[in-house]
Amino acid sequence: MLNEAHEQLSGSGLDYEILVCDDGSVDNTAKIAEEIAARLPRVRVLRNRKNLGIRETFERLYREASKELVFLNSTDRQWETGVLFQMLPLMDEFDIVIASRRKKHYGLARSFTSWVFNLIPPLLFGVQTYDAGAVKLVRREVIKRFALVSRSPFTEAERLIRAERAGYRIASHPVNISERGSGKARGAKLSSVIEAGKDVVRVWLALRRETRAARAAAESRGPRAQL
């Protein structure tokens, strides 16, 4: 996956970097990544001392990114690197482009969980997040702007909710993805679902407080003088 990404990006003329975060793996993941980084100058490896999970790993990669646009992908080959080049032209008009999945290759329980959590943003927040857990191409300013309250992968949905409410433009680019070649999906674990449910409440309460504070600040300033 890294070799493929490097080959496509190095021939694109783009100013790019490839960041890899090893999330406390106990196999040869870190060694392989570091061997590739020693060979390819634009690959940089980050390592978590212990397994921190999807949310913390994603957020670390976001913090470390230095280019104007951020494309966050996994290395399980579900989304090919070439999807990036389909999404880039859309950034002339949008600030976030979501590579939404036409088919998710989920089992029944995971499909239901995904459907529920993609239904919540438009119902509770009035924001269409399309496929919040999918690969995205995002302007780095969007990532840096918002202080998020979520503690689970619902962070991805919260960022989209806040971005849309702040006036950023979001688009969906439907793609076909491959089934997982290895590893085990854990997004539908009961503990993960419960934590994501708590995050829905956290985000709803936080946005209510922020809206009230903004209104109070506007009222305290009073009407502007008429000239």
The DSSP line for 92-157 is GT-SEEE--BS-----HHHHHHHHHHHHHIIIIIS---SSTTS-EEEEHHHHHH------STTHHH
Q: What is the CATH number of domain 53-216?
A: 3.90.550.10
pLDDT of residue 186: 56
pLDDT of residue 206: 97
User: Structure pTM?
Assistant: 0.88
Regions of the chain where pLDDT drops below 70 = 180-188, 223-227
pLDDT of residue 224: 59
Enumerate the CATH 3.90.550.10 domain ranges in the chain, comma separated: 53-216
Could you report the per-residue pLDDT of 95-141, keeping only the tens digit for each?
999 999 999 888 888 888 888 888 999 999 999 999 998 999 999 99
- Residue 22's DSSP bridge partners are 47
Q: Looking at 152-221, list the stretches that DSSP marks H as alpha helix, in order from N- to C-terminal side.
A: 155-165, 190-221
pLDDT of residue 85: 96
